Amino acid sequence: MSKELGIDEQVRYIYAALQHLEHGRSTVEISEELGVSRFMVGRMIRRAREDALIEVVPKITDPIDVRLSNELASAFRLTGAYAVIPPTNTLEHTRSTIATVAAKLFPQIVHEDDIVGLAAGRTILEMCSQTTDLPTCDVVQLTGVATADANESMRAVMTLSSVSRGRMFPLHAPFVTTDVRSGEMIAAQPAVKQALKRMDRLDRAVLTVGGWPNGAMLADQLRQLGELDEVTAHGVAAEIGTTLLDKDGNALPVLEGRMVGVSLEQLRRIPTKLVIAGGAAKQVAVLAALRAGLVDILVTDADTARFALENA
């Protein structure tokens, strides 16, 4: 056990810690002033923190659990992770908080002349509505239309394209077709073919994760087609782009040839994939996407982050 520091030592240790942590002075500079080695300065700073002689208070203005975020990034080897703290655990507040943080983060990862892929979803639409400035970039719609209102599904792409001042590549196609032959015919249409081809060259992508069966747009569409139970029986736990995953992150080729949008191979080739998703209904799905290695940067809620860490 370390001996108790005298008052003179406490003052010196606090001084060294404040000079380094608050004023940004190097340990070498402080060591020269105090007449001790830089290694001793390092020990002084560490001891000042361990003995609670100083208090380090984070000043980040956004509602982010910094410790939890770093643990999540480390556990799944992510480029970045942001575990947000919504004001309440309602789906509306969770979605809104994730979208707000994502809207601040997104412009920082986009570069001039990038080709950006954008999936559908309410959280992504809300993120786009809060994004006010972007480098010039092309925007590609990553999946076909999954709702009765085609304009609603394309609104995110149109909103972001107006901000980025680049070209827009919408995907005028359904998310899932009735059969493989229909999927082939739709994919062969010139406008659809152009968008799908553009997905080979994506630099960045913003995606959400659908949680099965109650938190996914595709599941809603399959429910209307009377196919939901049959597809769910294969063990589907999540959807990301047009890829279906089981809870362990394994890809399931259940609807192969019938979904229109970014393929698993194209997804894997994208250098930076920003995934924004959260809420109780998506916890298993987010974990599946992490296990599949389809996430580079994640913005989620603190409860989902803790769930992922507990099951890492």
pLDDT tens digit at each of 312 positions of the chain: 567 888 888 988 999 999 998 888 999 999 999 999 999 999 999 999 999 898 877 777 788 998 899 999 999 999 999 999 999 989 999 999 999 999 999 999 999 999 999 998 889 999 999 999 999 999 999 998 876 566 666 888 888 888 999 999 999 898 999 889 998 999 999 999 999 999 999 999 999 999 998 888 888 888 888 899 999 999 999 999 999 999 999 999 989 889 999 999 999 999 999 999 999 999 999 999 999 999 999 999 999 999 999 998
Instruction: Give the domain 66-310 fold.
Output: Rossmann fold (3.40.50)
CA dihedral of residues 109, 111, 114, 116 (deg, nearest 10) = 30
| 29 and 65 Cβ atoms separated by less than 8 Å | no
> What span, in angstroms and rounded, lies between the C-alpha atoms of 259 and 183?
7
Kindly give the residue spans of alpha helices, DSSP state H, lying in the chain. Answer: 7-21, 27-34, 38-50, 66-75, 91-109, 122-130, 150-164, 180-187, 190-198, 217-225, 228-232, 264-269, 283-291, 302-310
CATH number for region 7-50: 1.10.10
> What span, in angstroms and rounded, lies between the C-alpha atoms of 289 and 175?
19
| 70 and 81 Cβ atoms separated by less than 8 Å | yes
**CA-CA-CA-CA torsion sign (194, 113, 164, 96):** positive
Residues 130-158 as b or e (16 or more Cβ within 10 Å = b): ebeebeebbbbbbbbbbeeeeeebbbbbe
The pLDDT assigned to 22 comes to 85
pLDDT digits (tens, 9 = 90+) for 20-55: 988 889 999 999 999 999 999 999 999 999 998 988
pLDDT digits (tens, 9 = 90+) for 104-141: 999 999 999 999 999 988 899 999 999 999 999 999 99
What contacts 24, CB < 8 A, 6 or more positions away? Answer: none
Q: Where are the domains of the chain?
A: 7-50, 66-310
